[in-house]
Every structure is written in C-alpha cells, then in structure tokens.
Chains A and B, each alone.
Chain A
Amino acid sequence: KQEVTQIPAALSVPEGENLVLNCSFTDSAIYNLQWFRQDPGKGLTSLLLIQSSQREQTSGRLNASLDKSSGRSTLYIAASQPGDSATYLCAVRSLSEKLVFGKGTKLTVNP
C-alpha cells in the first residue's frame, strides 16, 4: 500500500528565504507526482506535476524534483513571500490512477 510522508509538518521562515519541502513515498511504481497548494478552508490548487519519466519541473519561483528510485520528491521555493503561506501537499498517482496524499507541510512566511 502506497504511503506518502511529508517533512517537515510545519515550517516558518522570514521573507526572502529559499526553502525546500520534502516528500517521500514507499512504492516507486508511480504514474506521476503532483504538488498542490491549499489555503485555509479552500480547495487544492495544482502547482506542478512531474511524470514518472521526468526528473524535474519548474514554474516561476517553484521547482519540483523527482527521484523515483529512492521514492523522493522535493519542492524548492525561491525568494519566499508572505503570499506563499499555505499548506503544501504532495500526492502520488499510482498506476491504478488513484492519488495518495501526504499530510502536508504548513508554510508560514513572515514579513
């Protein structure tokens, strides 16, 4: 059974810092991995999707990497801003097309 773990559970940083969020998964037989952002009481916004054959994806200040063999992904946020404050969720899509989510990392960027 696929399990997804995100470390740390919470992170507080000053504005302008570069930071890394970690995601690990137990079963490397995945279809893709998707990073989401969730604001309090809201739905999920898709940030980046990495196919199993890819190593990384970039969008603006965000860069996500995938090492399928070791079961790890990282989300790098450059020059963090207070508006980046949210919970970041990692989700792995198995070959059966179901998504398995981690518990998320709650990020606070202080002005």
Chain B
Amino acid sequence: EADIYQTPRYLVIGTGKKITLECSQTMGHDKMYWYQQDPGMELHLIHYSYGVNSTEKGDLSSESTVSRIRTEHFPLTLESARPSHTSQYLCASIFGVEQFFGPGTRLTVL
C-alpha cells in the first residue's frame, strides 16, 4: 500500500494570497494526480503527472498549476486564491494497477 502525505490538512486563507498545497510519496511512483472535490460532489481530475518534468491538465479546468521536479513531490499552487477555490484537494498516485489517495487538504478562501 502507498503512503501519500498532504500538507496542510486544513487551510483558511484570505482572497488574493498565494498558496501551495504539498503532496509527497516515498514509494517512487511515477504517476501522480490531483483531484478537486466540492462537498457532496464527485471528484474531478485537475492535474496529473507521469514522471519528473511531466505535467498535464486534467478534465476539469483549474486556475491552479503544478510542478514535478522530483519524483516524490507534486505540489499544487494557486497564485491568487479566490472564494471559488474553496474545496477539498486530493492527491493520489498509482501503485501497480491500483490508485491510492492522500488524506486531502480542505481549503477555505474567505
């Protein structure tokens, strides 16, 4: 089973601030993903990466950006947070054929 870490777990921040959500895994998985989940709604893929220096946008358009400089880390950045960014952000990686998820970051933008 994969261990995927996300920090912070909860974040309340004001409009216009720049934020970075951290995601890391120590298993050396190449494929990593970011999902966004609004309360009571399904998960939507916003970014994914198949390895170092590889990033792609997902099915749901997002104003966030990601980077993959190291295999273990897949941080997500919002340059200027807005209330519409309030949501839960879930990071995942694939181990074999199975996808595993981190605990998520619940973001609230005031």
A residues whose Cβ falls under 8 Å from a Cβ of B:
4, 31-32, 34, 36, 41-46, 49, 51, 89, 91, 93, 97-99, 101-104
Contacts and interface: CB of A to CB of B under 8 A. Distances in A.
A97 B90 CA distance: 17
A98 B97 contact: no
A99 B45 CA distance: 8
Interface residues of B, number: 26
Given A43-B90, A44-B90, A104-B42, A99 B102 contact: no
B102 A43 contact: yes
Interface of A is mostly: strand
Contacts of A101: 42-44
Nearest to B106: A41
B41 interface: yes
Contacts of B101: 36, 43-46
Interface in B10-66: 31, 33, 40-45, 48, 58-59
A101 B58 CA distance: 13
A98 B102 contact: no
B39 to A, nearest CB: 10
